[in-house]
DNA sequence: CTTTAGATTGACGCCGCGTCAAAAAGTGAC
DNA sequence: GTCACTTTTTGACGCGGCGTCAATCTAAAG
């Protein structure tokens, strides 16, 4: 009896989960094809061969769907960051590798990565269910605590510089991400490859912080190749 | 005859301009009150006591209205930047003052400033009339060329560092702006006042670049007060 | 006063959102 | 297999926003 019930429950849950998966993958492909404006609950319903009502049993609104995509994107990012931290040698190298974690995560799913900053706006947040809000918040904390932890653990940086270091890096990385996401016309002004400029700037910042230089970190191509290997991208 | 015609034309234009002004101010106040989602062409029409059709004679769509707000915001920013450049002494000080130009511009009209990054997204852009697109593009160029020009003119920075310097600063500033615009919960992680951290980070970056230190630039309060005075803010 | 060009209006068609009563499918007892 | 009951699914519906356009109004010129 109990077994049956639990089995049937888990079976239901299984189906529910699979469907949620389907909905999300359809949403993502719509996002890719038609962009943010082209994504509608109606379209998701048609493409999944479910009715609108059923979709609304999984997600309370359009924003809720997008939030879930952003959450998955964030979860993948966290795992890439962990890989970066495990494989980096010393503070500078780890910082560089984590930067690549962000870039490659965005590369894997540019559509979703482009939503991240929108998903953080208050107006978006209030439309999203609390569960999701918390999930986003937890991911943010995970990432930031890893970043701060990284700076704290290392010995080649003064205690009073830890927070500034983490902050400055964070800001710089975020700024570049924004440029990349909406590919601003920086090339017209001679900034053909923002990533290269980012890493150059980053090294200057780390120099200013007094972080030890090393052999690998300064070689853009090499470290990129290394990152692709570690993250299994491309 | 000709005089009459030109008079009547300029009169018409005058009225048209005033109305455009009215529309924009109503749009802005709606944006403040109800936020981005609450802003509708219908609402603008009601509040201005014009019909929807008339509003559409001025702006082709909602995005067009917002674009115009962003453009004005950008124009004001350019003028603040010029003030900053005129009043700053030396590279570091000018960089700091220009940073304050950005911050205070955002402070003057947070709603609009929060739209800037959205207004740069391709999906937004294609909905906006070409004239506006160009206007935005011109403002971007104005700002970036000033920034690059600033780094180029100064003597206390190596030639090969000019572009990196401009880029790194740009990225960092942009990242912070994003944090401020959506006030992310950084305070929970001990970053109570992002602006202070920004300036600390900025100085570290400038140190790394080899930019000369000075007396004023490092005093947050002092330089803020100076900026408020120059920009006539508060 | 009449004509006419141009400005203004708001009803209209369309679409997307989110809801909910009704229909369908599932479940279990007999 | 059937019946009664629960759960799930459906899609028609109401709402509201967008952008259009034929009809109406205005005002200037003849």
Burial class (CB in 10 A: 0-12, 13-18, 19+), A125: middle
pLDDT in tens, B17-45: 999 999 999 999 999 999 999 999 999 99
**Closest chain B residue by Cα to residue A190:** B163
In this predicted model, what pLDDT tens digit does every residue of B108-129 receive, in sequence order? 999 999 999 999 999 999 999 9
Tell me the pLDDT of chain A (234 aa) as tens digits.
333 444 445 677 888 999 999 999 999 999 999 999 999 999 999 999 999 999 999 999 999 999 999 999 999 999 999 999 999 999 999 999 999 999 999 999 999 999 999 999 999 999 999 999 999 999 999 999 999 999 998 777 888 899 999 999 999 999 999 989 887 777 777 788 899 999 999 999 999 999 999 999 999 999 999 999 999 998
Residue B60 neighbours by CB under 8 Å, 6+ apart: B128, B129
Confidence band, pLDDT 50/70/90 cuts, at residue B7: very low
Q: How many residues does chain B have?
A: 234
Q: For residues A204 and B209, is the Cβ–Cβ distance under 8 A? A: yes
DSSP assignment of B121-190: SHHHHTTS-HHHHHHHHHHHHHHHHHHHHHHHH-SSS-GGGHHHHHHHHHHHHHHHHHHHHTT-TTGGGT
Interacting residues of B195 by C-beta distance below 8 A, sequence separation 6+: B103, B176, B180, B220
Torsion of CA A226, A231, A232, A234, to 10 degrees: -70
DSSP string, chain B: -HHHHHHHHHHHHHHHHHHHHHHHHHHHHHHHHHHHHH--HHHHHHHHTS-HHHHHHH-SSHHHHHHHHHHHHHHHHHHHHHHHHHH--HHHHHHHHHHHHHHHHHHH-HHHHTTHHHHTSHHHHTTS-HHHHHHHHHHHHHHHHHHHHHHHH-SSS-GGGHHHHHHHHHHHHHHHHHHHHTT-TTGGGT---HHHHHHHHHHHHHHHHTPPP-SSTT-HHHHHHHHHHHHT--
User: B46: Cβ–Cβ under 8 A, 6 or more apart, which residues?
Assistant: none
Provide the whole-model pTM: 0.92
- Buried/exposed B172-184: b ≥16 CB within 10 Å, e otherwise: bbbbbbbbbbbeb
Three-state DSSP class for A60? coil
- CB-CB contact of A180 with A106 (8 Å): yes
Of the pLDDT bands very low, low, confident and very high (cuts 50, 70, 90), residue B6 is very low
Q: What's the confidence (pLDDT) of residue A73?
A: 97
Residue-wise pLDDT for B80-111, tens only, equals 999 999 999 999 999 999 999 999 999 999 99
Q: Is the CB of A61 under 7 A from strand C?
A: yes
The whole-angstrom distance between B208's CA and the closest CA on chain A is 4
Residue A28: partners with Cβ closer than 8 Å, 6 or more residues away: A69, A109, A111, A112
The pair of structure tokens assigned to A75 is: 């979860």
Nucleotide with minimal C1' distance from the CA of B56 is: D19
In chain B, which among 12-71 make CB contacts under 8 A with chain A? Answer: 35-37
Amino acid B190: pLDDT: 78
How confident is residue B12, by pLDDT bands cut at 50, 70 and 90? confident
Q: Which token pair is A180? A: 């990349």
Query: Which positions in chain B touch A120 (Cβ < 8 Å)?
Result: 182, 184
> For testing the chain B interface, which of A167, A170, A181 should be mutated: the one with the most B CBs within 10 Å?
A167
Query: Closest CA to D8 C1' — which residue?
Result: A54
Residue A6's pLDDT is 42
Q: To which residue do tokens 């408020």 refer?
A: B228
How do residues B145-191 score in pLDDT, each as one tens digit? 999 999 998 777 888 899 999 999 999 999 999 989 877 777 777 78
pLDDT at residue B82 in the model: 98
Q: What is the pLDDT of residue A3?
A: 37
The rounded Cα A150 to chain-centroid distance in angstroms is 18
Task: Give residue B202's pLDDT band: very low, low, confident or very high (50, 70, 90).
Answer: very high
For residue A24, what pLDDT is reported?
Answer: 98
Distance (Å, rounded) from C-alpha A29 to C-alpha A50?
16
Sign of the C-alpha dihedral, residues B189, B190, B192, B193?
negative
Q: Which residues of A touch B175 (CB under 8 A)?
A: 170-176, 178
Whether residue A185 lies within 8 A of chain B, CB to CB, comes out as yes
Beta-carbon contacts of A101 under 8 Å, excluding residues fewer than 6 positions away, are A77, A80, A81, A83, A84, A227, A231
């Amino acid at each position: 009896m109990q077994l049956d019930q639990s089995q049937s429950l888990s079976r239901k849950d299984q189906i529910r989960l699979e469907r949620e998966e389907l909905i999300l993958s359809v949403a993502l492909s719509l996002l890719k094809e038609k962009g943010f404006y082209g994504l509608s609950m109606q379209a998701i319903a048609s493409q999944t061969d479910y009715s609108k009502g059923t979709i609304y049993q999984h997600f309370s609104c359009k924003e809720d769907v997008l939030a879930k995509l952003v959450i998955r994107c964030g979860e993948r990012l966290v795992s890439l960051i962990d890989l970066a931290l495990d494989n980096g040698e010393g503070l500078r190298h780890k910082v560089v590798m984590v930067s690549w974690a962000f870039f490659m995560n965005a590369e894997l799913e540019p559509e979703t990565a482009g939503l991240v900053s929108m998903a953080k706006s208050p107006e978006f947040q209030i439309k999203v269910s609390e569960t999701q809000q918390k999930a986003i918040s937890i991911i943010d904390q995970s990432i930031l605590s890893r970043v701060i932890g990284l700076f704290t653990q290392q010995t080649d940086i003064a205690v009073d510089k830890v927070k500034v270091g983490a902050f400055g890096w964070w800001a710089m990385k975020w700024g570049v991400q924004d440029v990349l996401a909406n590919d601003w016309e920086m090339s017209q002004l001679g900034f053909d490859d923002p990533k290269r400029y980012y890493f150059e700037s980053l090294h200057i910042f780390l120099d200013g912080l007094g972080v030890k230089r090393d052999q690998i970190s300064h070689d853009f191509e090499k470290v990129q190749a290394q990152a692709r290997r570690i993250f299994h991208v491309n």
